[in-house]
Structure 1
Amino acid sequence: MRGFFTRERFGRPQILAGALLLAFVAECGWLIAHESPALVSPGEYTRVQEGLSQWRGGALAGTPFASKQVAGDLPVRPPVFDAEHSPLWYLIGALPMVVFRLNLDSLAGLWLSRAPYVIIGALLGASVWYVSRRLYGNAGGYIALALYCFSPAVLRNSALWASQPNVTGAWGTFGAVFTAIAVSHTLYAPREVVLWNWRRILLLGVSLTLAIGSQFSLAIILLVLVGFMFYLAPERKTAALAIFTAALGVAILLLFASYFFHAGLLWHGITRAIFLDASGRAFVMSGAYLQLGKEIANAGPVLVLLVPTALVTYTVWGRSRYFGNSAPLLFAVLFALLRVAAPHTAESVFTLLTVVFLFVFVAGIGADLLETKGRELATALIIGLVSANAVWNVIGLAGIAHGMR
């Protein structure tokens, strides 16, 4: 046990990160506390009830049978297969309610149905901190996590405050991206890398399950991840493909489990899934780009300053153009373009992913600036902007309570 509880694992950086994550959980709790079960949207009610029905032995969630069973003659969701989500999307929020035998129409049921997403949001924040710290050091980890924990968009997604539960797909995608990158960097080790990487294979498989199981359209990352792995290990493509195939097999098995091992329903669900809802004409619509810009700004007003500054710095300063900064930027651009291509979706997981990867990118550029001769000025500006963003967010949360009086 002494070897586990070391200063490296549980030192000052971990304590500070834990404090920020506790603040994040408290903010989510504040939002949930100011919502009434009577105001739960019909869509959320249907999602939870279909999940409860499946856990209790009823029809599989996301199928025509579940829609009819839950809502009777007035279904909120059309009696067809859900083309965007697997049953996993329904089961997560309903799981605590099955354990404690509650329904969504009670205050305790509301808290329990939201709790999994608050936990997942905190875990995504921990992942953002871990990746940023590994890439850029403690400073980068603090910057990324502070932006994340005080982002209104992230808080809304985690607390389901007038929001869909997109945070699960975001966490799965983020984990899949950086697990694939980590695996690729081990492929030149002098050992049997496929067997030695079994933990990362399982982690990658679980991440893919969370991503695709929550949003079928996130399956697009499969091809992107294979391309990244081939790029990072060009001489070990066979090993990379073997690891990715094994992880994909794990993901398929877990996704099959969410259908409670009904092969026919899995087949019907997959064949009716919409894996890419995009329009090429959207790329010439200025409104689609304006919408994306507003959504990014809604994730924190400080991003209006930090993102352009980081992009200019990345463009003109060669030292900042290394893989650690380029990777999150490339994925942020990818998800931003996917959001532009599907502008009519009311709320998109692609926007959330764009913002999360921008947090990492901005943190990387900020950490680089802190290592220059102008580190004192950079430190003052970064601390000031990040702190102001946090204060602005807290004031907004306080305003929610004031507005409900």
Structure 2
Amino acid sequence: MSQVSIPGRGLTVSILSLSLLTVMAGAAVAPALGVIQAYFSDCGQTLVQMIISVPALFIIITNLIFPKLCRHLSTRTLVLLGLLFYTVGGCAAGLFDQIGLVLVMRALVGIGVGILMPLSTGLLAYYFPPERQAGLMGYASAMNQMGGVIATLLAGLLSNLSWRASFLVYLLGLLSILLCLCFLPSDRLTQASSETESTAHPLRTYFVYIFAMFLLMSTFFLYPANFALETSSNGAVPTPYIAPIMAGADLVAFFGGLLFVRLKVLLRGHTRILAPLLFLLGYLFLLLPGGWTGTLLGSACIGFANGVGIPFLISEVSMQAGQAAATTVMPLLSAALYLSQFLSPILLQGVSILFSGLPHLPYLFALALAAVFALWSLRVPTAKHP
């Protein structure tokens, strides 16, 4: 099949708008978790925390069946269906007084993002020529990070009104619905996959990239999951500055995505080790100098590593998979990304049992993961870009 004709700006913005919604979908209401816990005080803390973790589980499940959905539904239908689940399920969670029904709505959010996540990157590989894909993947990563900043700030402000209002952050999905109704064509992605179909399962074919994504997100996620607690316990910076520093790390990641193409041209084949080395530096800064200097430099390095690491892996594997990326490797990359978020606390808990009493264990564990990620990255093949 020949490459799709050059897309217009409306289509580009429509696809990139999906990236604004996806990565922080589960954690968007994290700033409101305290007031939600207070309302559901008769429920256990673990049950309330599932408001954050349940979407990730259903994202993974939906990613695994995503190729089958592509056989029966057009791209436009899939995107609008995913956005409907995302927006309605996200907002409706604030309507219920039973925690069980809230979790059902959170599952709908997970299903919606499970549909949207492969499309948010796979459609870039489908509609755009290879010479434009690396830059667009960088913009998609930047939109991911900006979405995190916007969602976190909005949810925090809305939670001051009530815990129910915090779920209105998912109304951001309405913007994407409008854009996709206007500009997204109604194509079938399976048209592209028929020409590049391989006898090998995509998991085996692209395992190097998939496991690299798992390592990247496992290494990164230890930062947002543990930074506040670690910083408060060691008194590195005053508690009121913790949230702005974390938001600043997201902003650094945003600029990392914007600068990705220039860095790729500058570093060429060495780009693959940039993210793991920045992770190593970041966690070392958090551990060794301490205080304001270590905290700021460490957070900046970790944010930048996330900002450049994700578009690197997605752009490289897109070159390998071609137009079939959305139906072959992208669902698996998305599943790896969210599986790492789901398993990260469990893995850390296991390590804590083995090394109980060791100070700053989350950062030490992150350093170990970053070292494994660096070694694994040396195996990641880089495509020859036109």
TM-score, length of structure 2 as denominator length: 0.30
Give 1 or 2 for the bigger CA radius of gyration.
Answer: 1
TM-score under structure 1 length normalisation: 0.29
Which has the larger share of helix? 2
